[in-house]
Chains A and B, each alone.
Chain A
């Protein structure tokens, strides 16, 4: 396994050096704007990518990421509508799965002067958090977040209808997803998990699966945002009706369940003292356990995020976030809990710091992010370096470290999952 990782690295580096040599001989500015005098409505581009990870700790597999990916993006644009199809073929040698995926396929059109409609499979993001999500209740892929894939794979696409209204004073953004779109959660397959039953950390075979309560199996989700700018201040109000995105409850058979939830939230963002400040708040209502007395169903909770970002030196930006999470009806939770000693504190507090430095005419990005949870006393470090060799080749590498005092906390359970990863991508258009 280790040898295959080394071979991949060698192959990747050989490819790169060959390409650099070929690239320097290439010189064709002259008249190639990449299109004819007619503006074509069609656009296309793509990439192929090889990715490898390697555990720094003793694990039964060589690493949490071993995959090959080919991606194609095709678009068509007219004055009144446009569509985009993003497809990819993936060979994941970790799970030994070969699959074709439709990452996005949507049609966007204006409905009169002020309305817009976007229908189909699409990626949707909103909110102010940096890898922390309060009102962004669109599905995430937590394995992708942890294993070193490109940041875009943290967000999963949804099948839905999105309507925008752009008014004089306020704007509206509404998304209806006819089927529930859950997070891809940690299933004990790629990363070992803490099992409360055995009070130990391990891989789970078969991997965990989760369900909707039977009476909600056909229910979808609705997400709303009302937003506007007041000068340079941006404000948003959010509402959501659906389910807890990750399965945080159980049924009587002990299966993982996504219980119904609705939420209300708000955010503001503005320039302050040469930097950028934002605040976001959300209240999740656990619809089937408002009193907090059912130990199988998660309680309601509130979350608050405060962020500041500033360029501290030339090409260097520092940002920090303070995150607070409050579990409601905590006394009821403890009184009815099956394992009160295993419950998290009523208050969760976390701090994150991110440092981004650009060098070599912005072709080399060094990105370091740290998470520390005061309540759980656990941490996570993410170091990522991206070298954009030219318009075609990009080499990324990084290391992710985890740890904590107790194996039962989120990062604590990943204590033996530290790993390094390397990705090489060739783009074309």
Chain B
């Protein structure tokens, strides 16, 4: 109870701070909401092809290539994702299905074609590597804004600069992160994560955006391990929005037989 009161006080403080800095501009809440919508909810559904280049600290390289379908169940709320891997050879035909929920654990399934096995994955830490890359599951499907306290700390020509701290119940490796939200696209051009010693150790940045079907869309991004120098680049292409994908596509049927109709370009 005391904690909730304290949190409420902090929010109020944030709001006052924001209003004094941003003048007539957006409030922190509005910025966060717009950035979340622009990053993870453009259109009602989408398909894209993606590839990742994973480079370790010694410069050794790995590739991942996959197709993705996304469907919003509710705006800024629950979503369905399907990821169909095509490369490298050991993950070819592997399909990941995620029912993302806001108020409870996500449901996740993995189809392993060699065994014809639909394996359900225990809901776990979303800040773990997505298929061996430097991206986390959370970078792909979105971190809930309500997990952190956000504060507007700066405001230049192009960006809103936000500082976010995890709420007390969040067990995460970062102490805070700083985001630069592009005022035009509302996409986070750069997010830098700091550890509890105040040292920047991880950076996620947008490398390229394009306007596709009226939506500002990330077509290239990079995540860097600032300590080791390792990084992962990701590129997207053949992106389409508002295909009206039926919700039945996000089911066991598609795990066993990926829906060519919706995956084709």
A interface vs B, CB < 8 Å? 20, 23-24, 26-27, 29, 33-34, 39, 43, 45-47, 73, 77-79, 82, 108, 116, 122-126, 150-152, 154-155, 164, 166, 171, 227, 229, 232, 234, 269, 271, 274-276, 309-311, 314-315, 317, 361-363, 388, 390-392, 394, 427-429
Q: How far is the CA of A225 from the CA of B248 in the complex (A)?
A: 19
Q: How far is the CA of A116 from the CA of B255 in the complex (A)?
A: 13
Contact indicator A232/B92 (Cβ below 8 Å): no
Contact indicator B116/A122 (Cβ below 8 Å): yes
Q: How far is the CA of A361 from the CA of B132 in the complex (A)?
A: 5
Given A34-B87, A124-B116, A274-B124, 9 new contacts (CB under 8 A): A33-B65, A79-B261, A227-B252, A232-B107, A311-B122, A311-B123, A311-B125, A390-B60, A390-B62
> What are 15 A-B interface contacts by the 8 Å CB criterion?
A23-B60, A33-B49, A33-B65, A39-B264, A82-B257, A116-B253, A125-B117, A151-B114, A166-B253, A232-B99, A271-B122, A274-B105, A274-B123, A276-B121, A361-B129
What residues on A are CB-neighbors of B133 within 8 Å?
Answer: 361
What residues on A are CB-neighbors of B88 within 8 Å?
Answer: 391-392, 427, 429
Of residues 108 through 127 on chain B, the ones whose CB sits less than 8 Å from some CB of chain A are 114-118, 120-125
Q: How far is the CA of A26 from the CA of B115 in the complex (A)?
A: 33
Q: In angstroms, how far is the closest chain B Cβ from the Cβ of A395?
A: 13
Contact indicator B90/A394 (Cβ below 8 Å): yes
Q: Please name the residue on chain B nearest to A277 by beta carbon.
A: B122
Q: In angstroms, how far is the closest chain A Cβ from the Cβ of B228?
A: 10
B interface vs A, CB < 8 Å? 49, 51, 53-54, 56, 58-63, 65, 86-90, 92, 99, 104-105, 107, 114-118, 120-125, 128-129, 131-134, 230, 233, 237, 248, 251-253, 256-257, 260-261, 264-265
Contact indicator A152/B257 (Cβ below 8 Å): no
What residues on A are CB-neighbors of B261 within 8 Å?
Answer: 79
Cβ-neighbour of A171 out of B60, B115, B125, B252 (below 8 A):
B252
Q: In angstroms, how far is the closest chain A Cβ from the Cβ of B77?
A: 15
Q: In angstroms, how far is the closest chain B Cβ from the Cβ of A14?
A: 19
Contact indicator A45/B122 (Cβ below 8 Å): no
Q: How far is the CA of A23 from the CA of B205 in the complex (A)?
A: 27
Contact indicator B114/A123 (Cβ below 8 Å): yes
Q: In angstroms, how far is the closest chain B Cβ from the Cβ of A207?
A: 26
What residues on B are CB-neighbors of A46 within 8 Å?
Answer: 89
What residues on B are CB-neighbors of A34 within 8 Å?
Answer: 65, 86-87
What residues on A are CB-neighbors of B54 within 8 Å?
Answer: 361
Q: How far is the CA of A164 from the CA of B118 in the complex (A)?
A: 15
What residues on A are CB-neighbors of B132 within 8 Å?
Answer: 361-363, 388
Q: In angstroms, how far is the closest chain A Cβ from the Cβ of B187?
A: 23
What residues on A are CB-neighbors of B251 within 8 Å?
Answer: 166, 229
Contact indicator A29/B116 (Cβ below 8 Å): no
What residues on A are CB-neighbors of B59 within 8 Å?
Answer: 24, 27
What residues on A are CB-neighbors of B265 within 8 Å?
Answer: 39
What residues on B are CB-neighbors of A390 within 8 Å?
Answer: 60-62
Contact indicator A24/B116 (Cβ below 8 Å): no
What residues on B are CB-neighbors of A234 within 8 Å?
Answer: 120
3 smallest beta-carbon distances between A and B, as pairs: A311-B124, A45-B89, A152-B114
Q: How far is the CA of A388 from the CA of B118 in the complex (A)?
A: 23
Contact indicator A33/B248 (Cβ below 8 Å): no
Q: How far is the CA of A427 from the CA of B91 in the complex (A)?
A: 11
Cβ-neighbour of B58 out of A24, A154, A171, A311 (below 8 A):
A24
Q: Please name the residue on chain A nearest to B132 by beta carbon.
A: A362
Contact indicator B89/A276 (Cβ below 8 Å): no
Cβ-neighbour of A276 out of B65, B90, B120 (below 8 A):
B120
Contact indicator A43/B86 (Cβ below 8 Å): yes
Q: How far is the CA of A29 from the CA of B237 in the complex (A)?
A: 15
Cβ-neighbour of B260 out of A26, A79, A154, A391 (below 8 A):
A79
The answer to whether A33 and B51 touch (CB under 8 A), given A43-B86, A429-B87, is yes
Contact indicator A429/B89 (Cβ below 8 Å): yes
Cβ-neighbour of A123 out of B53, B61, B115, B230 (below 8 A):
B115
Q: In angstroms, how far is the closest chain A Cβ from the Cβ of B240?
A: 13
Q: In angstroms, how far is the closest chain B Cβ from the Cβ of A224?
A: 16
What residues on A are CB-neighbors of B63 within 8 Å?
Answer: 391
What residues on B are CB-neighbors of A388 within 8 Å?
Answer: 90, 132
Q: How far is the CA of A269 from the CA of B114 in the complex (A)?
A: 22
The answer to whether A27 and B61 touch (CB under 8 A), given A155-B115, A275-B122, A317-B122, is yes
Contact indicator B123/A26 (Cβ below 8 Å): no
What residues on A are CB-neighbors of B125 within 8 Å?
Answer: 311, 314
Q: How far is the CA of A309 from the CA of B120 in the complex (A)?
A: 10
